[in-house]
Structure 1
């Protein structure tokens, strides 16, 4: 295994400290899939390209890592028991494995003790098992349903529709020189007409020191991101033109040079695939539930136990 980075060690150290301090309970509260997915993993470390390549041998998940009262405990069982822990811990699993193993042993001892007291036949346990079973059935049903509905063809069709309905906007690359007065701007325009160097003048005279230091360069932008007066003037120009009259805005007077214009590159299907998959999944589940409710006999009762008229959800809502 490669030598852990300082950042990874610090994350793991915090996780270990939390486990040892008891802030990570043996029995974690249940989280819905939506909540669980909100947990973001830390950004992966960037490997030094000059560092020698290291071949990592992955541990065998079936390796027996402990025995509890004669029963084998495999590495995979320990990993599975960590599924309810934060991603920050699971992403550094090998660094915290000894602590997770001790945690699992505690879980196993608690479960074995409960079985020894015949809790498998306890009504409360059976009620919980029924709830878990319903949740598992629902999850498998929805997953299989979405596998049929949210296909690669459906994703591609939605992607094409998005591009058709929202074509990439035009954008321009421009530079500007910002001054306080109209007379200053007019003088600069005359200087440019006489062959003056736009970038050099911007560095010398522009009040916008950020772009001025770079010859007035503003980079690529769409019309909606600039103040109206500036955007209208810039998008009315042709490449290599500079404004013939000062452009006034709330910031002062601009002399604009248009360098290039193009249609903004469309986002690739790969970059949009997961977002579209999520959209289609949500839409399909909403439609499925709506159809099931139409076919079902659902009766809503008020606080007094009497039927009340059900409020129909708005179109497109569940």
Structure 2
């Protein structure tokens, strides 16, 4: 049982690496087949047997392992159909692997080249992952977050409500109702012509300069929290009444919100550094010209600019 657990764990780790590094599905198939080959009937006794090919069990653990590799192909398939499809795939892999071994495919140069390439891929992935882990830990991510937040300029935000009326006379009538004590949000829901905000009582949320119409922004400058404009504010859309709910300094994004992105960035930089160090320390002869790949198409015609 220990051997089964160890073998399956090693295969799982290899598959996680392969998802990021292997460029062809055939390499994935080779590893899945090799992992299934390692699961003998005796070693699989703690797993539910879902199929059997030439006396070799395909178990629920094998299926769970392979399902992650086939996730893109399986899509939103119902669970029972997903199970059936993965089992069929593993049966096919087992049959092909057995036939390949019987035909001495393991002695073919094509097989050896693919396995050597796959081994190099896996060695690189394991080595780089180990070295990156030494450089990028929680403390490094936290420090990068603190540095990033420290460089982030502070921004003032205003939380505004507004109402849009068709005429100046209508706007003055609403102002009179507000002066009489009517609730701004209630009146906005009843009277505002702005369909986008009336359902929320005219609430525009917290805005930084430049995020709303210049007329509304200018009208809010002279207000204190809780105040509304005492004169209609004209724009191309009609006449507005603006209320300032609150002013604040925009809060910094939380560590939880940014930590994943920061970690990815640090790991990418660490990977580049590790590979650059390896290359600098080695004797490398590249016998073809260095040619930069074409720039990715971003949808803009830069030549016309």
TM-score (norm 2): 0.68
SS in structure 2 at match of 1:267: coil
Which of 245, 261, 267 matches 1:281? 267
Give the whole-Å Cα distance in 1 for the aligned partners of 2:115 and 2:73: 29
Whether 1:267 and 2:262 are equivalent positions in the alignment is no
1:226 aligns with 2:212: yes
Matches within 5 A, 1:40-59: none
Does structure 1 residue 256 correspond to structure 2 residue 245? no
CA apart distance, 1:235: 4.4
Match of 1:206 among 187, 192, 196: 192
Number of corresponding residues: 254
Which residue of structure 2 lines up, in the alignment, with residue 148 of structure 1? 134
Of 104-113 and 169-178, more deviation after overlay is shown by 169-178
Contact 2:164 2:194 in 1 (8 A): yes
| Partner residue, 1:114 | 100
Unaligned runs of 5+ in 1: 1-30, 37-58, 312-318
Is this contact kept in 2: 1:229–1:249, CA < 8 A?
yes
Match status 1:82 vs 2:67: yes
- Tell me which stretches of 4 or more aligned residues in structure 1 moved more than 6 Å: 90-93
Superposition pairs of residues 97-136 of structure 1, within 5 angstroms: 97-136=83-122
**1:163 counterpart residue number:** 149
Query: Which one of the candidate residues 216, 224, 244 is aligned to 1:238?
Result: 224
Verify the 8 A CA contact 1:233 1:247 in the aligned structure 2. Answer: yes
Q: Which is worse superposed, 238-247 or 144-153?
A: 238-247
Give CA deviations for 1:221-258 in whole Å, capped at 9, x if unaligned: 33342123322332442101112443333433322111
Query: In structure 2, do the counterparts of structure 1 residues 261 and 196 end up closer, same or farther at CA, with 3 Å as the change threshold?
Result: same
> Following TM superposition, by how much is the alpha carbon of 1:157 offset from its aligned partner in structure 2, in angstroms?
0.9
How big is each residue's C-alpha offset from its partner over 1:136-184, in whole Å with a ceiling of 9 and x where there is no partner? 0111112112211111001111111222222563333222122244565
CA distance in 2, matches of 1:153, 1:135: 29
Q: CA deviation at 1:194?
A: 5.8
Cα distance in 2 between the residues matched to 1:79 and 1:169: 49
Aligned to 1:72: 57
Contact 1:175/1:256, CA 8 A, preserved across alignment: yes
- Deviates further, 127-136 or 285-294: 285-294
Q: Which structure is higher in helix share?
A: 2
Over 3 Å counting, the alpha-carbon distance change for 1:168 and 1:116 in structure 2 is: farther
Aligned-partner Cα distance in 2 for 1:62–1:93: 22
Contact 1:174–1:220 (CA under 8 A) maintained in structure 2 = yes
Q: In structure 2, what is the equivalent of residue 11 of structure 1?
A: none
Residues 35 and 109 of structure 1: is their aligned pair in 2 closer, same or farther, counting only changes over 3 Å? Answer: closer
